Structure 1
Amino acid sequence: MTRQLLSAASAAALLAGAAHAQGTEQNFNRIASFPVALNAPEGSGDAMTSSEIIAATEDGMTLVYTDSPAMTVGFIGIEDPASPEALGRIELEGEPTSVAVVGQTAYVAVNTSEDYVNTSGELLTIDVATQEIVSRCDLGGQPDSIAASGDGAFLSIAIENERDEDLDDGVLPQMPAGYLSMIDLGETGAECDSLTEVDLTGLAEVGPSDPEPEFVDINEDGETVVSLQENNHLVIVSRDGEILADFTAGTTDLEGIDTKDDGALVFDGAQDERRREPDAIAWIGTDYIATADEGDYEGGSRGWTVFNRDGTVAWEAGASFEHAAVMIGHYPDKRSDAKGVEPESVEIGTFGDLPMAFVGSERGSVVGVYDITDPGAPVLRQMLPSGIGPEGLLAIPSRNLLVTANEEDLIEDGGARSHVMIYELQDGPAVYPHLTSEGMDELTGWGALSGLAAVDDSTLVAISDSFYGLEPKIFTIDVSRTPARITDAMLVTRDGDAAQKLDLEGIALDGEGGYWLASEGRTERAIPHAIYHVDAGGEIDREIGLPEELSHVEKRFGFEGITMLEGRLWMAVQREWADDAKGEVKLVSYDPESGEWGGVRYPLETPEAGWTGLSEIVADGEWVYLIERDNQLGQSAAVKQITRVAASALEPAPLGGELPLVEKEVVRDLIPDLVATNGYVQDKVEGLAITEGGTMWIVTDNDGVDDSSGETMLWSVPRD
């Protein structure tokens, strides 16, 4: 019943189709994704793993990362960075919070605290080659960030003694107070007897008795800069432990931002005097300090800032970093009322003669790459797709590499695992993004694309699903450019207002300037299964509900895709309804003229894990093409494919009776395409369009960047 017709195109062909035309300019492109669960021992099952803070040996050949949920330190071999090797992990007696590497020796800060009051921690010296713990030093409190001086002479460790956020709503102060520890390094590792503590109390205006240091970095002069995130303060400390300077991180006024978690991307809000509350910090030379202004206590400016060492602001991103994420579909709407894209990490590295800053968005799962030749005027060069929740960034200029450690592991929810991702600075175009709204008159957000249709050889239309149910839109996409450009976003309306509570999953042209839309029912949200017709202006002028033969057997997973074939509409039902045999779903037809319904049955694949269903249907000449996929991702994905059914076989039988079973042919395995950009296999391949010239366009649904990396893939392949 299933026959393979076409093999997938080579990765090189896909990359060429998606590449950003930037001439011979150098760009970072992802070359590998390593799921850190590969380092877990056999028999560990589905235990959660994570990659958080990451460092590398001096030769850049081995990565060392902290894994807090598993209470381990993991190792990855990158002699061939395009093929990372699992080198295993070592078990610890507490929660690792940070790691620094000097030569071939790793220094790991471990939280061993009983609770928020009885705080404790230790510093481990680990031989990377043997993966043995060489020594332990008592830190006296709960550590967070750790940094090594460039000459390998000493470490600085932020002893945070973090607050209990559930106690009095997390209001400061909460004792014991945190401090900065400094410790010398000798030939055999950390010299415990040299440990000194630097008192940081009495400096900040916010909670001066409870500084809670968060992050540290050391410049080439041996000066340590410390961020006191909740206190909204920065401190500079000399090699000898003397406080050289301290200053508030200040506030900023934000405009043009989305401030509501409401399923609509509207960037007309503002926040005045927003505390920056920086998390990660990094020296730029010895005169400037970069901060990732995540916010935690009651702030977060959604961007990043460059400070002069005297505390004055040399430059700030304002909302520009967030806007860059918006344009490529990485805006996390569910964080709108709090911290938006939530910048958490920042890394500095000089590649050749070019100094660069890398800024990671925890909730947007994207990394901004900036030229900081002039620290007072950074220039955004790229936005890189990352795994979910980039926590640690690592530049390895000696090998032209950038590494991200992405902390989120969603295995309990059937989602993506935690990944370490590796990027290489290459001569040539940037592969990502595949789609952008850059260049539109107004800042336009988008995401969760669930259906496609071709207008002509260079123009597509797309829709987004219920994630943005307050403002359903039809997007016009110019695919003659790389990356493809959204050129229009038309609101779907009812009586002139946004047609809320729709779960649009399919779109088809009506041949007269309007569109047919398929909405998948969400009974728990009072969203019906239905077909809608909208005119050229986006207004709904016809709504068609399900007939009784379907409504009494309907389930949650309904219409996914709609197409027109010889005057009849055909909709693919994603999964089995109550009257379907296991492994069979309906292709439902509707005649807009006569109102007649009908259908046929379609056979699904039966994978070992999860379920399989349909995501799209497109009529094209003598064939009707479909997307069939499982709900698995990463290494568990097995079925992501385009199939086809002969149009002549779609002879609809009356609903309620026995429906004929059609024969399908598999025409393309999409898994090689989905890994061609060296990420993990995404779950939701949801949109397919076929142009008159015979080009197939495929798009993935990024789930609105909710428990998702936010990455949208849009690519083309020949139909034949």
Structure 2
Amino acid sequence: MIKKTLAVFAALFLIFGCENDNNENNTPELEVNENPASFKEVGTITIGGTGAAEISAYDETTKRLFTVNNSSTNKIDVIDLTDPTKPVVLTSIDMGTYNGAANSVAVYGGKLAVALESKSNKQEEGKVVVFNTSTYALIKEITVGALPDMITFSPDGKFILTANEGEPNDTYSLDPEGSVSIIDVAANYAVTTLNFAQFSTQLSDLKTKGFRIASVSNSFANDIEPEYITISSDSKTAWVTLQENNGIAKIDLVGKKNVQLFPLGYKDYSLADNAIDVSDKDGAIAFATWKVKGMFQPDAIANFESNSIPYLVTANEGDAREYSAFVDVRRINHSSVVLDPTVFPTAAAMKADGVLGRLNINTKMGDTDGDGDFDELVSFGARSFSIWNGNTGALVFDSKNELDKKAHELGLYDDNRSDDKGVEPEAVYVTKMGNKQILFVGLERADALMIYDVTSPAAPKLLQAIKTGDAPEGLTFIPAAKSPNKKSMVIVSSEGDGSVKIFQPELN
């Protein structure tokens, strides 16, 4: 009898596997022999204009996709994916009733969670609104920190987390604390909101390693701006990108507390493998080395595990602060940017538009000796994706200039962005396909999706590049077991043209 039971179990194991798709339910995955280098567009739908398709989340029970639509009225569009080749908008959930503007959505177990910033004043506390995915009935309304920009469920569904960016108003008269809210679903949606004030005593050490605190108030807790969250497969640990601060925070979800900050340091553009195009006015796409550093400043983050080590993948987009009371970005050719003549002996030539003059740099960094001129040039973003050790924060891999160069080879590189952030990596998503860890990277300014095999975290391999809609913002992966047609799907939501595109792979 025991042998028979084991045989049945073995047979079931061959049919079903396990997958970790970051923040979705960990249900068994149908064993299908799919080729992760063969994704093709099978369906598309346009739900509006600019801002219409930012972030999407899928409900496997109803086969519905819930997509943020801010093109006109603030709403969540509900899209039927029963036939992935013919997506249809079924209805919309009006967010106007809740006095907030939707920024992000997440789904788990028949629940749709929406992150809303305050509509009247985004420096005020935000909220999370939870709906039933079948009836759209309101389940709960929860207060969280200011400007919840991203929302996710833990893989076990016990927690909802929001990254509360806490941006200031234009005059910096109000600058709320950046925070992360942890909502305990089983405890009647009780909220614990964490700020980052405890790390202020480490500021000196953090700054030497590239962490950035700079604003009018110069307050550590208020200056922190959480952007995106990823949660470990056991739902015990979360990592949060602090984009403007050039760092990642690690959170203990069991104890509901912040435990560590990882400063991310700089990328060295004087190295041949990091060569970049820095001018949008030279009439060419020319990759060259420069005496410039780049802050990584990641937007989206994902995680996977290999040999019991957690790895973090970041989309190193970069971001500046531009308010009437505080601006930290200028082009090198600006009159206020004075280069140290000893460090930069050819400063006048360097500041020409066709040379380095058009590059945007951080004006609150780089004066290392305090004499009023720039001894270092620090730009925004790293024009790459990176893989980090989730335990230590150590850099394991960086894609160097491969994203820019591959986009150029494919005719997708936008030279108008050379002075800023290149292809502008915006989104990342990691999932298991067969025995491989597969990474999807969305490039906002190249309108492209890059697919990598990251099974070996230190040596990712590019598998495929796909054209997407305009300015891809959100990536969602649906494994075969949850897919309406039992084939895996990648859904790309693009805010530039309001399109939602569906891609599926071929079988091996």
Which of 14, 17, 38 is matched with 1:27 structurally? 38
Partner of 1:130: 135
Partner of 1:618: none
Partner of 1:120: 125
Which of 361, 383, 389 is matched with 1:308 structurally? 389
Matched-pair contact (CA < 8 Å) for 1:155–1:183: yes
Query: Counterpart of 1:393 in 2: which secondary structure?
Result: strand
Partner of 1:178: 178
Identity of aligned residues (%): 31
**Distance in 2 between residues matched to 1:25 and 1:287, nearest whole Å:** 22
TM-score (norm 2): 0.71
Query: Counterpart of 1:325 in 2: which secondary structure?
Result: helix
Matched-pair contact (CA < 8 Å) for 1:60–1:396: no
Query: Counterpart of 2:261 in 1: which secondary structure?
Result: strand
Which of 240, 253, 257 is matched with 1:226 structurally? 240
Matched-pair contact (CA < 8 Å) for 2:38–2:505: yes
User: Any stretches of 5+ residues in structure 1 without a counterpart?
Assistant: 1-23, 38-46, 410-417, 429-720
Which of 266, 272, 276 is matched with 1:257 structurally? 276
Partner of 2:490: 402
In proportion to residue count, which structure has more strand?
1
Partner of 2:318: 295
**Distance in 1 between residues matched to 2:36 and 2:266, nearest whole Å:** 37
Report 1 or 2 for greater relative contact order, CA contacts < 8 Å, sequence distance ≥ 6. 2
Query: Counterpart of 1:334 in 2: which secondary structure?
Result: helix
Asked whether 1:146 is paired with 2:142, we answer no
Which of 230, 254, 263 is matched with 1:217 structurally? 230
Partner of 2:359: none
**Distance in 2 between residues matched to 1:78 and 1:67, nearest whole Å:** 17
Matched-pair contact (CA < 8 Å) for 2:145–2:166: no
Q: What amino acid maps onto 1:178 in structure 2?
A: G
**Distance in 2 between residues matched to 1:115 and 1:269, nearest whole Å:** 44
Matched-pair contact (CA < 8 Å) for 2:145–2:180: no
**Distance in 2 between residues matched to 1:282 and 1:233, nearest whole Å:** 15
Partner of 1:684: none
TM-score (norm 1): 0.50
**Distance in 2 between residues matched to 1:327 and 1:191, nearest whole Å:** 53
Asked whether 1:86 is paired with 2:89, we answer yes
Q: What amino acid maps onto 2:78 in structure 1?
A: F
Asked whether 1:63 is paired with 2:85, we answer no
Which of 412, 419, 429 is matched with 1:330 structurally? 412
Partner of 2:426: 344
Q: Cα 1:62–1:243, aligned 2, differ >3 Å: closer, same or farther?
A: same
The structure with more radius of gyration: 1
Asked whether 1:276 is paired with 2:296, we answer yes
Q: Cα 1:163–1:323, aligned 2, differ >3 Å: closer, same or farther?
A: farther
Matched-pair contact (CA < 8 Å) for 2:146–2:177: no
Query: Counterpart of 1:220 in 2: which secondary structure?
Result: coil
Matched-pair contact (CA < 8 Å) for 2:145–2:193: no
**Distance in 1 between residues matched to 2:119 and 2:89, nearest whole Å:** 30
Partner of 1:551: none
Q: What amino acid maps onto 1:28 in structure 2?
A: F
Cα shift readout 1:197-250 (whole Å, capped 9, x = no counterpart)? 112233564223321111111111321100110001101101122223221122
Partner of 2:106: 100
Matched-pair contact (CA < 8 Å) for 2:276–2:288: yes
Query: Counterpart of 1:195 in 2: which secondary structure?
Result: strand
Q: Cα 1:120–1:68, aligned 2, differ >3 Å: closer, same or farther?
A: farther
Q: What amino acid maps onto 1:181 in structure 2?
A: S
**Distance in 2 between residues matched to 1:376 and 1:58, nearest whole Å:** 33
Shift of 1:26: 5.0
Q: What amino acid maps onto 1:33 in structure 2?
A: T
Query: Counterpart of 2:226 in 1: which secondary structure?
Result: coil
Cα shift readout 1:38-79 (whole Å, capped 9, x = no counterpart)? xxxxxxxxx765111111114482111112333111111111
Q: Cα 1:424–1:60, aligned 2, differ >3 Å: closer, same or farther?
A: farther
Q: Cα 1:25–1:424, aligned 2, differ >3 Å: closer, same or farther?
A: closer
**Distance in 2 between residues matched to 1:277 and 1:26, nearest whole Å:** 29
Query: Counterpart of 2:244 in 1: which secondary structure?
Result: coil
Q: What amino acid maps onto 1:34 in structure 2?
A: I
Cα shift readout 1:417-471 (whole Å, capped 9, x = no counterpart)? x10000001137xxxxxxxxxxxxxxxxxxxxxxxxxxxxxxxxxxxxxxxxxxx
Asked whether 1:419 is paired with 2:499, we answer yes
Q: Cα 1:30–1:270, aligned 2, differ >3 Å: closer, same or farther?
A: farther
Query: How many residue pairs end up in the alignment?
Result: 378
**Distance in 2 between residues matched to 1:404 and 1:59, nearest whole Å:** 20
Matched-pair contact (CA < 8 Å) for 2:442–2:473: yes
Cα shift readout 1:691-717 (whole Å, capped 9, x = no counterpart)? xxxxxxxxxxxxxxxxxxxxxxxxxxx
**Distance in 1 between residues matched to 2:192 and 2:469, nearest whole Å:** 38
User: Any stretches of 5+ residues in structure 2 without a counterpart?
Assistant: 1-34, 201-205, 214-219, 321-361, 363-379
Shift of 1:396: 1.0
Query: Counterpart of 2:459 in 1: which secondary structure?
Result: coil
In the TM superposition, structure 1's runs of 4+ consecutive aligned residues that sit over 6 Å from their partners are none
**Distance in 2 between residues matched to 1:272 and 1:379, nearest whole Å:** 27
Shift of 1:121: 1.3
**Distance in 1 between residues matched to 2:285 and 2:62, nearest whole Å:** 41
Matched-pair contact (CA < 8 Å) for 1:58–1:102: no
**Distance in 1 between residues matched to 2:174 and 2:246, nearest whole Å:** 16
Matched-pair contact (CA < 8 Å) for 1:33–1:421: yes
Q: Cα 1:293–1:48, aligned 2, differ >3 Å: closer, same or farther?
A: closer
Query: Counterpart of 2:185 in 1: which secondary structure?
Result: strand
Partner of 2:80: 77
Matched-pair contact (CA < 8 Å) for 1:212–1:231: yes
**Distance in 1 between residues matched to 2:148 and 2:490, nearest whole Å:** 26
**Distance in 2 between residues matched to 1:288 and 1:48, nearest whole Å:** 34
Structure 2 counterparts to residues 516-531 of structure 1, below 5 A: none
